[in-house]
Amino acid sequence: MTDEANVHIYAMVDQLIEGHQWVKNHLNVTPSVGWSIDPFGHGSTVPFLLSSSDFDGTIIQRIHYAWKQWFAKHQSSDFLWKPQWQERGKDTDLLTHNMPFDIYSIKHSCGPHPFICLNFDFRKIPGEYTEYSIKAQFITNENIAAKADLLIEQYARTASLFPHNVALIPIGDDFRYNKEREFEQQYINYKKLVDYINDHKEKYENTEISFGTPADYFRAVKKRQQKFPSLKGDFFVYSDIFTEGRPAYWSGYYTTRPSYKILSRDLEHNLRSLEILFTIAFNRARQNNNYDALRIFEKNYEKIIHARRNLGLFQHHDAITGTSKANVMRDYGTRIFTSIQDSTKLQQSTIEMLLQKEDHHTEHGFILSELERDSFNKIPRKTPINVTQNKSVEFVVYNSLLQERLEVVLLRTLNPNVRVLNSEKQEMEIQINPVWNITEGADSLTSMYANGNVANRITISEHEYEIMFFRRLQSTLVIAEHNDKVLTPITGNAVTAAQQLGGDVTVLVAGSQCGPVAEAAAKLSGISRVLLADSDAFKGFVPEALTPLVLAAQNQFKFSHIVAGASAFGKSLAPRIAAKLDGTV
């Protein structure tokens, strides 16, 4: 269950993919229903992702008590959840079930009266003394009739909150079924009650009870109800009610333990950057039959998998929120720190491979990350560049986004008497700043504030300087020419020209049944990605039809350059695009 207030979309998708692959690979099960009963409030992003993954429904729990009252009053706890951003023609609604009571334990979910529900939590483990182990009695022939009457009254009240009169009753709680004995206790006693009620249909007005899964619940509901109310929005901020009747709002976790939240974003950024570099470098090695590099890539890919899983694990509603115990948070921090280090080192090695023109690169260790980290609870430090007289040092600026960026680049140097040249050996305007050592002598984030006023400890470094300049991180779109089967040679010339401009190169393949062309374009050396538009509307490669497509791609990805081949087609298409963009193609 991912948190839904502090997480970022990429991390949510990562957790969804990793979790589903694990369940499929280890249990051979493909989930079809979401179970999200413990996050502190709910947003509409998770239902959107689940609906896009062909889920049949989802179940939520922790929403504001006023919403629970409203749903109960209007019998609307099963509803279609619509995202705010739903596109026309795309049905991403998801049937959602709101658990009607406060929490998911047996005490609070069998019906509206917790102290009656305590009678039906049959866990009795030697050495455990709890309110349910004291109150609950195992089902016998002597008490089964009275217990069945008591239970069916609670179930009936729960079902009355829905127009279809179907009740979903969970049997569990946090940290349950960790003992084999509890499985037997819960199942045997509930089986006696279920069989008794089903065998006395006249007494219980044809009530039918069965063990099942959330998927079974949604199937039963859809048989009885065809239309559902719809809702658009989210359930923040979450609030429950204390026993004394005061509301308790849950919002402190938005800012609790912020350094861990920063770590999560840091891993997310490094992992995504690595995935792009790794894919490009791996495909290059495969194209060049560099089997030594491929073996290394296959070995290192396991570190990417572990990084994805550590990132997904930390999106848990008690992890990124900062609501876990201190030792648990330290474990999360160590896992994230390890994956950040692995992702950084793998980025270094893939960049080294991509920078070397030889098919089988031999040099290693000449790329260093701009940041150094000692542990998860220490602030990362900028790596200073040691520039001596008459000696140059090269650095790489990498844009991991799909679009062009204008970025302020900050470098650390041990010498203020430096010049910065771009890739064309042209000198750039720079600004030299002092480095303020706010954390000098501090071992960690917490120790910064442990001994008085931080402002009294700010000093100017005597050894390091900050170099600041602007850098435009470029990206180029190449419009491929083809006959729906093979690329024309002029496309290769256009790609070569695009690579001379620097930055990422994207190829747009548009046509009718032109999938093979896109596959061929993806194999071209130095290509970052291929955009495929396969439709009869682009049949015949007519410039008038392709112009709106190119403009739409430019509007989405913000390329710094658009390149077309110097052919009759290119000379017809390029002016149309240039006129619309008021620029040069």
Active site residues: 38
Question: Does residue 328 contact residue 347 with C-beta atoms inside 8 Å?
Answer: no
Which token pair is 121? Answer: 């939590």
Distance CA 388, CA 382 (A): 19
First-to-last C-alpha distance (Å) of the chain? 48
> Residues 452, 456, 457, 460: what is their CA dihedral angle, to the nearest 10 degrees?
170
**Residue/partner pairs of 457-465 with CB below 8 Å, 24 or more apart:** 460/434, 460/435, 460/436, 461/434, 461/435, 461/436, 461/437, 463/384, 463/414, 464/382, 464/384, 464/412, 464/413, 464/414, 464/435, 465/412, 465/413, 465/414, 465/415, 465/416, 465/432, 465/433, 465/434, 465/435
3-class secondary-structure state, position 406: strand
Which token pair is 414? Answer: 């041990």
Work out whether the CA dihedral 559, 561, 567, 568 comes out positive or negative. Answer: positive
Question: Does residue 230 contact residue 82 with C-beta atoms inside 8 Å?
Answer: yes
- Which of 364, 361, 363, 413 shows the shortest CA–CA distance to 391? 413
- Which of 234, 233, 144, 154 shows the shortest CA–CA distance to 195? 144
- Which of 412, 393, 385 shows the shortest CA–CA distance to 466? 412
Give the DSSP letter of residue 75.
Answer: T
What's 490-559 look like in SS3?
HHHHHHHHHHHHCCEEEEEEEECCCHHHHHHHHCCCCCCEEEEEECHHHCCCCHHHHHHHHHHHHHHHCC
Cα–Cα distances in Å, from 317 out to 2, 23, 35, 314, 532?
A: 5, 20, 13, 8, 38
Which token pair is 540? Answer: 């015949």
Using only the alpha carbons of the chain, give its radius of gyration. 30
Q: Helix crossing, 326-355 with 258-287: angle to 10°?
A: 30
Question: Does residue 32 contact residue 215 with C-beta atoms inside 8 Å?
Answer: yes
Amino acid code (one letter) for 176: R
Question: Does residue 10 contact residue 268 with C-beta atoms inside 8 Å?
Answer: yes
- In the beta sheet, which residues pair with residue 473? 405
Which token pair is 409? Answer: 């680049």
Question: Does residue 420 contact residue 414 with C-beta atoms inside 8 Å?
Answer: no
Residue reference for tokens 């954390």: 439
